[in-house]
Amino acid sequence: MNTKVNVIVPVYNVGAYLTEFFESLMNQTFQDFDVWVVNDKSTDNSLDIIENFANSFPDKIHIINNVINLGLCGARNEGLNQCDSQGEYILLLDSDDYIAPEFIEKMVNNADKYHADVTICGLERFDDKTRKTICVEMINNPEELITDIKNFDLLGYMNPVVWNKLYRRTVISDVRFTAIKRSEDTIFLFSVLPEVKSIKFINEVLYHYRLRETSLSGAITNEIFESMLEGFKEAKENFNKDKKYCEFMELFVVQMFIRCGIGGTCRLSFKNMQKAQFYINRTRKFMDENFPEWRKNRYLSLKYAYKKSTYALAVCCASMAYKCHLFVVIVYVYWLMSQVLKKDFRA
C-alpha cells in the first residue's frame, strides 16, 4: 500500500532544534506518511539525533546522507529524487521549525475534499529566544477553492515559502529547485503554477517558523543578494521560453519586487545602514535592466492597491518610493519595525 504523503526534510547543523521538530512530526494525528531526511553533511550532532529517531521509527524515517554539502536547494532536490515516487502528496518542511499536531491531517483532508493541487495553511513566526510571536501570516485568504489560477492576483503578494504548502505529487513531479541562494521558494512556486488547477487555503496557523537572531539581517550577504538577483533574471529568461509561464509573468514581477526590491535590499541595508542608498540604487538598476515592466505593472500601482489589502497598498507605496527615489525612507521605517519594535512587514 502506497504512503499517502512523503515528507522531505533537509538538515544542516540544526541539532539544537531537531528534537522539537521530530517530536512535532512524529506526534501527528495523521500517520500515513514517510519522512525522507536529507543530512547535508552536518558537522554538529544533527545526524545522531536523526539516527535516534530513525531507530524509534524504522519504517517511517529514511535517512539520505549527502556525500558533499549541496545546500538547501540541492538537499531538497535529493530528497525529491530519492523518495518514494508513488505517494499522493509532498511536504517540504524546514528542520528548525515545528508543526501543529493536526498539521498533516488538516492539509490532507482539505486536499482530498476539494481535490486541491496545492493546499496552504497559516503560519506563525516566533522569536527563538523569547518564543513570542513576531507575526502571523496567511490566515485571511479566500475560503472557496481557487480554480482561476492565472487571474488569482494574491499569487503576487502571498508568501511563496514551500513549507506551509502541501503539493499534489503529480503537479511537482518534474520540477526541481534552482541553485539560487535566496527566494528559491518563489521560483519553485512559479515553476509549478502552470500545472496547478486548484488551490485551497486553510486560514489557521498550523506551521510555526522559528526566527533566529540572524534571520532578519545576518542571513543575507552581498553574495547571496547577487545570487538572488541573478536567479530571478535566469528564471525570467527560462519562463519566457515557454508560453505556459507567460500568463503568470506579471505576478512573478510583483514577487520579484517584493523579494529583491523590498526584502533583500532592506535586509542587506540593515547590516550597514550607511550603504542603504547604494543597495537601493543597485536594485533599481537591476530591475530597470532586467524587469523594466515593473514600473508599469498594474499590481504595483496605487490605483489597483487601494481596493486590496493593507499589505498590497504598502507594497505599491514602496514601488512609488523607488520611482521617486525615496525608498531609503522605507528602509529606515522597516528597520525600526524589525529591530526596535520587533515587528515584521509580511503578507
Q: Domains in the chain, please, with CATH?
A: 5-211 (3.90.550.10), 222-340 (no CATH)
Share above pLDDT 90 across residues of the chain, in percent, rounded to a whole number: 82
Handedness of CA 331, 333, 338, 344 (dihedral sign): negative
Give me the long-range contacts of 217-220 (CB less than 8 A, separation at least 24): 217/267, 217/270, 217/271, 218/271, 219/267, 220/182, 220/264, 220/267, 220/268, 220/271
Burial of 310 (0-12, 13-18, 19+ CB in 10 A): exposed
Round to the nearest angstrom and report the end-to-end CA distance of the chain.
40
259 or 220: which leads in pLDDT: 259
pLDDT at 35: 97
**Phi and psi at residue 23, to the nearest 5°:** -65, -40
Pairing of strands 33-39, 133-137: unpaired
Lowest mean pLDDT segment, chosen from 91-105, 241-255, 297-311: 297-311
Give the residue from 32, 36, 35 showing the smallest Cα distance to 3: 32
Query: Is the whole model's pTM more than 0.85, yes or no?
Result: yes
Q: What distance in Å separates the CA atoms of residue 236 and residue 290, rounded to the nearest whole number?
A: 9
217: helix, strand or coil: coil
Distance of CA 277 to the CA centre of its chain: 27
Q: What tens digit of pLDDT does each residue of 308-320 get?
A: 788 899 999 999 9
